[in-house]
Amino acid sequence: MAAPVVRRVAGFATFKGCLQRRGGEVTSAPKIADRVFSGIQPTGVPHLGNYLGAIESWVRLQERYSCVLYSIVDLHSITVPQHASTLRHNILDMTASLLACGIDPERSVLFQQSKISEHTELAWILGCLTSLPRLRHLPQWKMKASGQKEEGSLGLFSYPVLQAADILLYKATHVPVGEDQIQHLELAQDIARIFNNQYGGSFPVPKAILSDTKKIKSLRNPASKMSKSDPQSLATVYVTDSAEEILLKFRKAVTDFTSEVTYDPDTRPGVSNLVAVHTAVTGKTIQEVVEQSKGLDTARYKYVVAEAVIEKFAPIKNKIERLRADRGFLEQVLHRGAQKAKEIAHPFYHEIQKLVGFS
């Protein structure tokens, strides 16, 4: 697909695929082109699994689609307790990380969710169309609520509705998701159909873009996915880890008592996880990696994988450090992104207000 056409409007980039203008006034496009939306919580710098499972594919989507919106979903983050100063820091840290990984504000709309009030306004409307049993059916509610006092908050219970509003507010046609988010996207699809049937709306029913990247597992427990909440510090590799830290974490990675490098996730999950990481950061196939690793025992192979990860993350780490030092630039990126997102969201939400009877 050709590179997206960009026009300069009011001092910032407006994407031809996202907006149309009529007599200088922004209006929603009469025909909705392919439009991608996705969000990420501001939980600090990404880890290896975040990068390979989501962010790397986000970068590629900028090339495939002319209208791509990426939101730092800080409203979602407060469904669990947050310290205000930590949250502010994490929002900027995530912004720096996304930019360093290749998210380009000239080819996508990168913005902070809470700066666009229409997200929560639409979530209220959609919440009035969503039944309690439908939300209780989502497994994430049961899983997350079990870890909180008194079953969890109203925000935690209803955040899938806000997720649907995030998507539908921009009339997104495609949403990159992992397999664990499919049911939440199905909820957004159902809500879009319900609204369209009840009010005669024109929400597209968003389609999933499933990543073909293998899930990266914990280095200390290959039965679980890599996670920031893992209590074992050696289990998770971050994009800002030093070369020494990465080497140590892979050296301590759990494998098994067979020295040969093979790929068999069922019987050799630890070694297979290393192979999955190796293929993901080098672009080689599993077959190529296994073939090239003949003669290596797993102890030496850990160093090979670690070196490949270090090489992949070195330029990203350096760029994050430079961006962190320029807080003003990061704030400007988010401000301009919010302007662009607002310009897209406002006319769409105005249509919804009229359909519901608010305007």
Domain boundaries, the chain: 6-215+337-356, 233-321
Q: Which of 115, 144, 284, 342 is catalytic?
A: 144
The pLDDT value recorded for residue 143 is: 67
Residues of the chain by 3-state class (helix, strand, coil), percent to 5: 55, 10, 35
- Rounded to the nearest angstrom, the gap between the alpha carbon of residue 22 and the centroid of all alpha carbons in its chain is 33
Separation of alpha carbons 26 and 7, rounded Å: 13
The pLDDT value recorded for residue 150 is: 59
207 classed as catalytic: no
Helix spans in 23-152 (H):
48-50, 56-64, 74-77, 84-101, 118-127, 132-136, 139-145
Separation of alpha carbons 172 and 203, rounded Å: 8
The pLDDT value recorded for residue 42 is: 96
- Among 323, 302, 244, smallest CA distance to 45 is for 323
Class of domain 6-215+337-356: alpha beta
The pLDDT value recorded for residue 124 is: 98
The pLDDT value recorded for residue 180 is: 80
Q: Are strands 12-15 and 109-112 parallel, antiparallel or unpaired?
A: unpaired
Strands (E), the chain: 6-9, 12-15, 20-22, 25-27, 36-40, 68-72, 109-112, 174-177, 207-210
> Are residues 210 and 266 in contact, defined by beta-carbon separation less than 8 angstroms?
no
The pLDDT value recorded for residue 138 is: 86
The pLDDT value recorded for residue 35 is: 95
The pLDDT value recorded for residue 359 is: 80
Q: Which of 16, 115, 225, 342 is catalytic?
A: 225
Separation of alpha carbons 273 and 265, rounded Å: 7
The pLDDT value recorded for residue 147 is: 57
- Among 338, 22, 57, 18, smallest CA distance to 208 is for 57
> Are residues 315 and 87 in contact, defined by beta-carbon separation less than 8 angstroms?
no
pTM listed for this prediction: 0.89
225 classed as catalytic: yes
340 classed as catalytic: no
- CATH classification code of 233-321: 1.10.240.10
Looking at residue 53, the DSSP 8-state letter turns out to be: I
Q: Per residue of the chain (359 residues), give pLDDT as tens.
A: 333 333 333 333 344 557 654 444 544 443 457 999 999 999 989 999 999 999 999 999 999 999 999 999 999 999 989 999 999 999 999 999 999 999 999 999 999 999 999 999 999 999 999 999 999 888 777 666 565 555 678 999 999 999 999 999 999 999 999 888 899 999 999 999 999 999 998 899 999 998 777 789 999 999 999 999 999 999 999 999 999 999 999 999 999 999 999 999 999 999 999 999 999 999 999 999 999 999 999 999 999 999 999 999 999 999 999 999 999 999 999 999 999 999 999 999 999 999 999 98
